[in-house]
């Protein structure tokens, strides 16, 4: 691109110089020859004024000193040279001047001016002045050489300016190209910077917006994959263990095993639906959200997780305030958030786990607490990938996203002991 910009600028400068220099060269030539003819004519008129009276009186002719280098001669009516220098007898131009008047000609490599001398309406002689045109051409050529030098200097300056402007124009585009290549190579953090050129800055801003949206889309898809795998792993493991246990026990009741497997599969279906709803939450789709009383969901979570904690020698306590139990809440989101909080308490907490459902300003609030203390930075406990155990640091981040998608809020409200509080809105009728 730099070479193209330089070429365009140089061609434009050349065209401008030619359009300017060609007429100027013609004007220089015309002007120099016109000045030379003017000087010759002044010499001729000065000589005519001096010798006219001499010729009329029949006196010897004495020419004044010439102001110009050239041939100055005085001729009688018969074209004989009386004084000075010049062709003898007079040439055709001298004869024409005697017959018609002042003659100004450029012929035979000379500039000639012939002025007739007259008295009482009678021609008594001719003054002829001539100069070699090569002297004028020398001056013209030197002037043209100076003009050509000035044109070369102007062209050189134009090339320097063009190269500088080419760098100024191409550098932002090259930077934009490198940023695009970095994005193509997988670096989605690469962003184009501004350069002060409005058009290029507009392209850079458009590219940054495109990369930002692409990054958000890829991040959304990646989060969906990790959320789905995280939420499906535990119920799938429970379903697999239940079926394997039923097969391993010959006297096991298959109907009970099937009923438990059916319940686990329904839980899987609800999990999938909630993860999909979370993935669609940023697209503006307004799916209807089923609701259930908050107390039922807390009791359901207690039934599912009581055995797991009991096998580890830990207790699970549930406290439901009378005014909070009947309050309706988003069923699937609340179920998934409680599952994540109880998993987090089992994996990273210790001692008794307590679930408290209470009413706060007409809306339900759920506290999940254990007797441990968080080992991660409380300010980053909800950041994706932050974990102090064998997990991947997805659960709490997912729970917060589920709460926000449902119009609620999840926060770490205490560190001694560890307490997470879920605030849920009451769905509108």
CATH number at residue 131: 3.30.450.20
State the burial class of residue 339 (Cβ atoms within 10 Å of its Cβ: 0-12, 13-18, 19+).
buried
Do 407 and 330 belong to one domain? yes
For residues 146 and 76, state if they share a domain. Answer: yes
pLDDT at 406 over 90: no
13 vs 152: CA distance, rounded Å: 11
Average pLDDT over residues 87-114: 87
The pLDDT value given to residue 286: 47
pLDDT band at 405 (very low <50, low <70, confident <90, very high): confident
**CB-facing half-sphere around the CA of 361: CA atoms within 13 A:** 3
Query: In 10 A of CB 230, how many CB atoms?
Result: 20
Any idea what the CATH number is for the domain that residue 379 is in? 3.30.565.10
Q: What is the mean pLDDT of residues 247-273?
A: 69
Query: Which alpha helices (H) appear in 58-132, and where do they start and end?
Result: 92-100
Residue 230 has pLDDT above 60, yes or no: no
What residues contact residue 271 under an 8 Å CB cut-off, 6+ apart?
Answer: 231, 232, 235, 332, 336
Task: Give the span between the Cα atoms of 128 and 67, in whole angstroms.
Answer: 14
If phi > 0 it is left, if psi is from -120 to 50 it is alpha, else beta; for residue 281 that is alpha
| pLDDT surpasses 60 at 390 | no
pLDDT tens profile 213-229: 888 777 766 666 665 56
Highest mean pLDDT: which of 1-15, 210-224, 339-353, 374-388?
Answer: 339-353
Confidence category of residue 283, pLDDT binned at 50, 70, 90: very low
Q: What is the mean pLDDT of residues 87-92?
A: 87
Say if residue 287's pLDDT is above 60.
no
In 403-413, which positions are buried (b, 16+ CB within 10 angstroms) versus exposed (e)?
A: bebbebebebe
Within-domain flag for 176:
no
Instruction: pLDDT band for 334, please (50, 70, 90 cuts).
Output: confident
Altogether, the residues listed in the chain come to a count of 429
Assigned domain for 337 exists: yes
User: What residue spans of 281-359 are helical by DSSP H?
Assistant: 294-311, 331-348
Query: Sign of the CA dihedral 219, 374, 320, 423?
Result: negative
Q: What is the pLDDT of residues 361-372, one digit of tens each?
A: 888 999 999 988
| pLDDT at residue number 281 | 59
Q: Is it the case that residue 111 has pLDDT exceeding 50? A: yes
What is the percent of the chain where pLDDT is above 90? 13
Question: For 298-310, what is each residue's pLDDT tens digit?
Answer: 998 888 888 888 8
Same domain, 9 and 94: yes
Q: Within a 10 A sphere around the Cβ of 423, how many other Cβ atoms?
A: 17
Give residue 337's pLDDT band: very low, low, confident or very high (50, 70, 90).
confident
Q: Is 399 helix (H, G, I), strand (E, B) or coil?
A: helix
Q: Is residue 244 part of a domain?
A: yes
Measured distance CA(400)–CA(410) in Å, rounded: 5
16 and 146 both lie in a single domain: yes
The sign of the CA dihedral 157, 161, 164, 170 is: negative
Residue 266 lies in a domain: yes
The reply to whether 106 and 212 lie within a common domain is: no
* Residue after which a domain boundary falls, among 219, 251, 278: 278
Residues 7 and 147 in one domain: yes
120 and 216 fall within a common domain:
no
Cα-to-chain-centroid distance, residue 118: 84
Domains held by the chain: number: 3
Alpha-carbon span 29 to 358, nearest angstrom: 105
- Domain contains 57: yes
**How far is CA 43 from each of CA 36, 115, 338, rounded to the nearest angstrom?**
11, 10, 118
Mean pLDDT check: name the lowest of 18-22, 183-187, 202-206: 183-187
Q: How far is CA 422 from the centre of its chain?
A: 45
Q: How far apart are CA 126 and CA 15, in angstroms?
A: 50
Boundaries of domain holding 381: 289-423
User: Pick the residue with more confidence: 120 or 100?
Assistant: 100
d(C-alpha 99, C-alpha 114), whole Å: 11
Are residues 375 and 399 located together in one domain of the fold?
yes
Answer yes or no: is pLDDT of 53 > 60.
yes
Q: What is the token pair recorded at 284?
A: 């503006």
pLDDT at 285: 46
pLDDT tens for each residue of 170-190: 888 888 888 888 888 888 788
The residues, ordered by sequence, that sit 6+ positions from 9 with a Cβ below 8 Å of its Cβ are 158, 159, 161, 162, 165, 166
366 or 427, which is more confident: 366
> Are 357 and 412 found together in one domain?
yes
Are the C-beta atoms of residues 422 and 323 closer than 8 Å to each other? no
The residue-averaged pLDDT of 321-338 equals 87
Which residue from 172, 117, 108, 136 is spatially nearest to 37, judged by alpha carbons?
136
What 8-state DSSP symbol labels residue 253?
-
Residue-level pLDDT at 284: 40
Same domain, 204 and 324: no
- Check if the beta carbon of residue 294 is closer than 8 Å to that of residue 329: yes
């Amino acid at each position: 691109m730099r070479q193209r910009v330089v070429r365009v600028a140089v061609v434009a400068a050349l065209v401008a110089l030619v359009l300017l220099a060609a007429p100027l060269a013609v004007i220089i030539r015309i002007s120099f020859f016109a000045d030379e003819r003017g000087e010759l004519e002044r010499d001729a008129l000065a000589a005519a004024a001096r010798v006219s009276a001499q010729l009329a009186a029949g006196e010897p002719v004495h020419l004044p000193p010439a102001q110009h280098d050239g041939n100055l001669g005085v001729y009688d009516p018969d074209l004989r040279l009386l004084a000075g220098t010049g062709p003898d007898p007079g040439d055709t131009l001298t004869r024409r001047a005697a017959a018609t008047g002042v003659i100004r000609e450029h012929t035979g490599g000379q500039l000639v001016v012939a002025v007739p001398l007259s008295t009482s309406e009678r021609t008594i002689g001719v003054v002829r002045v001539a100069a070699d045109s090569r002297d004028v051409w020398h001056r013209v050529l030197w002037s043209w050489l100076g003009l050509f030098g000035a044109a070369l200097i102007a062209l050189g300056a134009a090339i320097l300016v063009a190269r500088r402007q080419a760098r100024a124009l191409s550098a932002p585009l090259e930077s934009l190209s490198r940023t695009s290549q970095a994005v193509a190579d997988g670096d989605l953090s690469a962003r184009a910077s501004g350069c002060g050129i409005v058009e290029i800055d507009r392209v850079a801003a458009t590219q940054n917006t495109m990369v930002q949206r692409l990054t958000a889309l890829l991040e959304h898809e990646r989060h969906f994959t990790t959320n789905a795998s995280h939420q499906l792993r535990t119920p799938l493991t429970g379903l697999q263990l239940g079926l394997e246990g039923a097969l391993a026990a010959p006297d096991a009741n298959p109907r009970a095993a099937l009923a438990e497997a059916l319940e686990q599969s329904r839980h899987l279906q609800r999990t999938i639906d909630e993860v999909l709803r979370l993935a669609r939450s940023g697209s503006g789709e307004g799916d209807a959200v089923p609701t259930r009383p908050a107390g039922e969901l807390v009791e359901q979570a207690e039934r599912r997780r009581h055995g797991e904690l009991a096998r580890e020698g830990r207790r699970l306590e549930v406290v439901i305030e009378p005014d909070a139990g009947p309050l309706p809440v988003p069923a699937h989101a609340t179920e998934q958030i409680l599952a994540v909080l109880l998993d987090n308490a089992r994996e990273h907490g210790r001692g008794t786990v307590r679930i408290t459902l209470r009413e706060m300003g007409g809306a339900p609030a759920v506290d999940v607490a254990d007797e441990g203390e968080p080992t991660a930075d409380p300010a980053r406990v909800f950041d994706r990938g932050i974990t102090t155990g064998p997990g991947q640091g997805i659960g709490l981040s997912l729970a917060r996203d589920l709460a926000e998608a449902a119009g609620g809020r999840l926060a770490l409200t205490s560190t001694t002991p560890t307490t997470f509080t879920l605030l849920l809105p009451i769905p509108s009728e």
